[in-house]
Structure 1
Amino acid sequence: MSVHLVTGAGSGIGAAVARRLLARGDELWLLARDAGRARELAAAFPGARTLVGDLGEPARLSWALGQQSPPDRLDSLLHIAGMIELGLVGDLTPKIWQRTLAVNLIGPAELTRLLLPQLRLSRGHVVLVNSTAGLSASPEWSAYAASKYGLRALADSLRAEERGNGVRVTTVYPGRTATPMQQKVHQQEGKTYDPAHWIDPESVATTLLTALDLPRDAVITELTVRPGH
């Protein structure tokens, strides 16, 4: 039985991945930003365990995990949580920049650092859900895209650094996916949201599991998933 830690399991891609991992009998740990969210996740995913730690406050993650009992070994760390605020460069405030970079980049970097000993022990796998915005930035997407470009750099460096320890690193770049975040994006863009136009979160979940389940003679380093219509 494999042991996984998932961020962003409350909805969208993260929820789809969590359901699939539980259904196949794996041990699942879910990161929650606070105790209330942890109770919600525990109720939504019976059998899963929770850890409390706010990616938006990376400097406190070490203390938070130190007050709890993370798994002794970890087969995968799945970074799926994220946030977005659209806006012109001339309008975005430092608070938005700092929060976006914390949740989307610095938090994942710190969580990875803290859990690397467990991942090295099992020759585990780090999967980072990026975005096609991490490949090309559009108007009003600067803060989000910058965080995702940074996440790509994090993955590339981590992959090279940990290859000798047997830790695999995969970046997945989904296009627009039918999630609550996408609904928020459409509201910010002033557009009508129709989830049928975009990727089903289950399809992205299938992509992640394919990378996880690939035999150890190979690794999917990067994979882009775009809407098929």
Structure 2
Amino acid sequence: MSPQARAFEGSTAVVTGGGTGVGAAVALALASAGANLHLIGRRVNMLDAIGARARTMGVQATSHPADLSTSCGQLELTQRLAQVLSSVDILIQNAGIHFASALAQAKLDELDALFVTNVRAPYALTQALLPMLKARQGQVVFINSSSALLAKPLTAQYDATKHALKAIADALRGEVNADGIRVLSVYLGRTATEMQERIHKIENKPYRPELLLQPADVAYVIMNALSMPRTAEVTDIHIRPMIKT
């Protein structure tokens, strides 16, 4: 068995973007380690499918369909979670959207949508769940992007939100380490997800997921970081595809 097998027995994990890709992979890895899941996303059928798989591992799994692209949707979610959760041990912030365009032609409403979903939503959810995380000396994981570290032409609006997410994680870590909370940022290279498939289409490139990072790879690394003894904290992880294209 792996070092983290059932390491989180009876704990509670909240996962945004938990129906597909990296979010789903991390959720199932947590379930295999004994964590009960609260899955957040837009498509309830996808959440329910992951929840059903998790329940075969002997844990509870609840779907929370939510629109994180609006402040109203964020408020409704945080109010719902406050009613149904009594504790939170792990918060996985994975949900996000992507737009690409040259700055000269970029639509300002796309910038607004990126900010609300990629920055405001994880900020609001972390803020809402922080008292429960403090009570359990929990852990927060921000699934970020290599774009948070190097801005590129044609993606200024997206990259700016990922820079902002890095700032939130870094500032939060300094605020809550004394309460026993660990905060991890994971900076991903190109990963085989629905979003990456759309990006390849925009770039007019063939999508070959077998050449990219796999969601299970990301989940494996995150689980090892979460399972480390409390004498250590992993603050930043950078992962990229081994095969360079």
TM-score normalised by the chain length of structure 1: 0.93
Tell me the distance in 1 between the aligned counterparts of 2:31 and 2:134. Answer: 23
**Match 1:61 to one of 74, 80, 88:** 74
* 8 Å Cα contact 2:27/2:37 also seen in 1: yes
Tell me the distance in 1 between the aligned counterparts of 2:214 and 2:117. Answer: 23
Residue 24 of structure 1 aligns to which amino acid in structure 2? A
Tell me the distance in 2 between the aligned counterparts of 1:211 and 1:202. Answer: 14
What does residue range 135-214 of structure 1 map to in structure 2 within 5 Å?
A: 135-214=149-228
Tell me the distance in 1 between the aligned counterparts of 2:178 and 2:84. Answer: 24
Gaps of 5+ in 2: 1-9, 56-60
How far did residue 39 of structure 1 move? 4.6
* 8 Å Cα contact 2:169/2:185 also seen in 1: yes
Tell me the distance in 2 between the aligned counterparts of 1:98 and 1:70. Answer: 30
**Match 2:11 to one of 2, 19, 28:** 2
Gaps of 5+ in 1: none
> Helix, strand or coil: the match of 1:45?
helix
Does 2:28 correspond to 1:41?
Answer: no
* 8 Å Cα contact 1:13/1:202 also seen in 2: yes
Residues 172-222 of structure 1 show CA distances to partners (whole Å, capped at 9, x for unaligned) of: 001001111110000111111111111111101111111111111111000
* 8 Å Cα contact 1:134/1:152 also seen in 2: yes
What does residue range 94-109 of structure 1 map to in structure 2 within 5 Å?
A: 94-109=108-123
Tell me the distance in 2 between the aligned counterparts of 1:16 and 1:60. Answer: 24
Residue 11 of structure 2 aligns to which amino acid in structure 1? S
* 8 Å Cα contact 1:53/1:65 also seen in 2: no
Q: Percent identity?
A: 35
Q: 1:64 to 1:204 in 2, by over 3 A?
A: closer
Residues 132-166 of structure 1 show CA distances to partners (whole Å, capped at 9, x for unaligned) of: 01100111111111000000000011000111211
> Helix, strand or coil: the match of 1:15?
helix
**Match 1:12 to one of 21, 24, 28:** 21
* 8 Å Cα contact 1:5/1:76 also seen in 2: yes
TM-score normalised by the chain length of structure 2: 0.88
* 8 Å Cα contact 2:22/2:216 also seen in 1: yes
User: Number of paired residues?
Assistant: 226
Q: What's the RMSD between the two structures over aligned residues?
A: 1.4
